[in-house]
Each structure stands twice: as C-alpha cells, then as structure tokens.
Chain A
Amino acid sequence: MRRRRFLALAGAGAAAALGAAASAWPQERVVRVTARRFTYSPSVLTLKKGEPVVLEFITADIAMGFNAPDFNVRADILPGKISRLRFTPDKAGTFTFVCDLFCGDGHESMSGTLKVLA
C-alpha cells in the first residue's frame, strides 16, 4: 500500500515506472537484460499477464533503447547505469520489442520477443 502511494506521488503512473527499486519489493519479478550491439540477452522475455515485472537493463557498449509499443513502455539503456522499467503486461500473446536509439549498422535488426502467458 505504501508503495502504491509512493508511485502515485512520484507521478510514475500505473503502467510503467522508470527507476523503481525492484529489490525493495520482492513481490515483483525482476528480469535482467543485457543490451549490446545489436542484440538483447536474453532476447525472449517470458512474462505473465497481470503480473508486475521489473526489467533491469544494462548496456555492454553504447546507449541503446528498449521499446515495447504494444504496452506503450520504453526505456533508455545508458552506459554505466542500470535502467529499470516496471510494468504489468495487460494482455497475453507474443510481442516484439525493439531498440529505438539508433546504435549503428545492425540497429534495424536489434529486436526481441515478449512472450506474455495468460
């Protein structure tokens, strides 16, 4: 309850919040993703509909992006930082996420899959 109030006060919104401290709330699943030109590892993220998740990103080289347009969530992945993206998938299915910060030759093929189980 306190956490909900914090998010509301921070203006973070229900769907997504960058910078949420995942470790403080063990009820949320944390999925760690490493971006490097021009791949994500892992490239398939299996999530569950209605289950809050925190995606933690690092980049192994230059600045990258993560954009899952079907859920209207995105994050910058910047060198030397851990980027956190909290959201709750509201639909099941298979969806694409892409890098939306141009990162060089191969940027166009830098993508992954969100598998959201019902």
Chain B
Amino acid sequence: MSVDRRMFLKLAGLGGAVFASRLARAADPYAAADEFFFVQLSDTHWGFEGPALNPDAAGTLPKAVAAVNALAVQPDFIVFTGDLTHTTDSPKERRARLAEFRRIVSGLKNPNVRFMPGEHDASLDNGEAYKEFFGPTRYTFDHKGVHFIALDNVSDPAARLGDEQLAWLKADLARRKPGERIVVLTHRPLFPLFPAWDWATRDGDRAIELLMPHENVTVFYGHIHQEHHFKTGHIEHHSAKSLMFPLPAPGSLPKREPVKWDPAQPYRGLGFREVEAEAKPVEYKLTELPVVKA
C-alpha cells in the first residue's frame, strides 16, 4: 500500500472495520513486489424482488457502483464473487438479468473488473448463459506478484469442482514458485462451513489438500451473505457481505431465513470490502465498507 493511500485512510477515518490477515511465517521472497488493493463485491442478486428483505432491490447495486466510484483512491481491480443475478427458470430472463447487471457495472470507473458465477447464475444451465456474457467460469491471472485463481464450484448444481477442474488446479499449482503468494477466488466456501445450510463445496476438501503445501494462500468467497473468517491449517478463508440481503450467522437459527430489512437501519448488513495486499510481510488487510454511508 502506498504511503499516500495509508495516510489518506488514516485521515479519513476509514480504517474502522479492519480485519488484518497475516500470513507471513517466513521471509518473503517477493518482498520487492508492488503492494496494491482490490475491491470485492458479492452476491448482488440482480433481479431479486422481495420488499421485506430489500425494498431498494433495484437501487442497491447502482449505489454500490457509486460507492466504489467515490473511493478516494481507485482499486487496482474489482472482483465480483458470484451470484451476480438472482436465479430464474427462464433462460431468456436469465440473459436479460445478466445483460442488465453488466450494463450497471459498466458504470464502474475502473474498467478492470473480474467476474465469477454463483449458483444463481450458473447452476440451472451449467454456466451456459454466464459464459456468453462473462467468459470462462475458471481462470487465473497475475497481479503485482500475486497469483489469483478463480474456481468454479457452482456450474455443477451439486456444488462440485469436479475431477477435471481439480486436475487443472493441480497443474497450475505445480507451476508456482516456493513461497509465491496465491489468492483463490470462489463463490461457495471450500470448507464445510455449515452443510446443513448447504454452505459447502462437496469436493472442496480436495482443493484445500492441493493448496495446503503452498505457504501463502488466502481464499475470498461469497455465498453466505456475511463476513466470516476461518482457517483450515494456515489457509485463511474470508467471505464477503451481500449487496441484496444478509443471511443469519451459520446455525444461529433453525432455518436459513434471510435477515429482514430494518427501516431504522436501511442497508444494514450489506456492503463490500477493500483488500489491501501487502508483500512484506505477506498480509491482507480487509476493510468493510457500507453501501450507503451513515
């Protein structure tokens, strides 16, 4: 992170809800790599209608776009970790929602945006419509010394990564240098966070097993509509808030019923995050930001 940005955040008092994710255990061979930050948005569920949960369903995503655009310093890139749209049985309506979502987020100042599907986008047609709009459902890219891997655990309605994707992951990881920083982006939790609410990836343990030998791995995901932080061994997993409605804490209620809109605290529980990637020590600082400032 640049000194300018650090100073700005301090002066602006934006560092309130910060979760520091420290990964360093050894000297970092990539200390010379640039530091940077990106923004994670998730579970926008464009097309959802339910006034009791979000009476501003059509306005929340545009407000989030405006909030990102209003950041004093623009991120290096922006990532949407799935459930861009709310599911529909109609292939035509699905495409209309994906098109409308794309139109709205094209208003982001920063054109460097990465997408991935959620089960609402992709599970009913194995990702067919999603791919027409946003391309492959899994991919890698490198940014300033960090290797990003987007995994698809939603195109299979059974929430499996599948043998073929796992082989692809294994081959990609085999090309990584010792100590290389790796960030995994995905929709569902790779670990069995709460299977009774279907908050899991059926073969996610196999992905974690492949990642485990790598020293610096962090996972960012969505799906559960709330902030959550967990470790499997040395691998940290961070889920993001939704931009449509929050869900209750895992297992806190008998059923996974969405949290109702509170008129006294509109947009409560919704938001997005900044992720500051620091190279020395290897560290990710998370800052949770609201859709609308209080």
Contact = CB atoms under 8 A, between A and B. Distances in A.
A associates with B: yes
Nearest to A98: B198
Main secondary structure on B side of the interface with A = loop
A101 B195 CA distance: 12
Interface string B254-286: 111100000000000000000000000000000
Contacts of A102: 87, 119, 123-124, 154, 157, 159
B14 to A, nearest CB: 33
Contacts of A108: 197-198, 256
Contacts of A69: 192, 195-196
Contact of A104 (B87, B196, B202, B256): B87
A69 B124 CA distance: 24
Given A105-B87, A108-B256, A67 B195 contact: yes
20 contacts: A63-B157, A67-B195, A67-B198, A69-B192, A69-B195, A98-B195, A98-B197, A100-B158, A100-B159, A100-B195, A100-B202, A102-B123, A102-B124, A104-B89, A107-B87, A107-B119, A108-B197, A108-B256, A109-B256, A111-B255
Nearest to A103: B157
B275 to A, nearest CB: 27
Q: Which of A65, A100, A102 has the most CB of B within 10 A?
A: A102
Interface in A36-78: 63, 65, 67, 69-70, 76
Contacts of B124: 102, 104
B196 A96 contact: yes
B86 interface: yes
Query: Which 8 A-B pairs rank lowest in CB-CB distance, beginning with the nearest?
Result: A102-B123, A69-B195, A102-B157, A102-B119, A96-B196, A101-B157, A105-B87, A69-B196
B196 A99 contact: no
B190 to A, nearest CB: 16
Contact of A101 (B87, B88, B158): B158
Interface string B160-181: 0000000000000000000000
A95 B158 CA distance: 21
Nearest to A63: B157
B255 A99 contact: no
A101 to B, nearest CB: 5
Nearest to A105: B87
Nearest to A72: B195
B33 to A, nearest CB: 38
A1 to B, nearest CB: 35
Nearest to A76: B158
A108 B43 CA distance: 14
Contacts of A99: 198
Interface string B189-205: 00010011110001000
Contacts of A101: 157-158
A58 B116 CA distance: 33
Contacts of B196: 69-70, 95-96, 98
B158 A109 contact: no
Contacts of B87: 102, 104-105, 107
Nearest to A37: B89
Nearest to A100: B198
B156 to A, nearest CB: 9
Contacts of A98: 195-198
Interface in A83-104: 95-96, 98-104
Given A98-B197, A105-B88, 19 more contacts: A67-B195, A67-B198, A69-B195, A95-B196, A96-B254, A98-B195, A100-B159, A100-B198, A102-B123, A102-B124, A103-B157, A104-B87, A105-B87, A105-B89, A107-B87, A107-B198, A108-B256, A109-B256, A111-B256
A109 B255 contact: yes
A65 B157 CA distance: 10
A96 B157 CA distance: 20
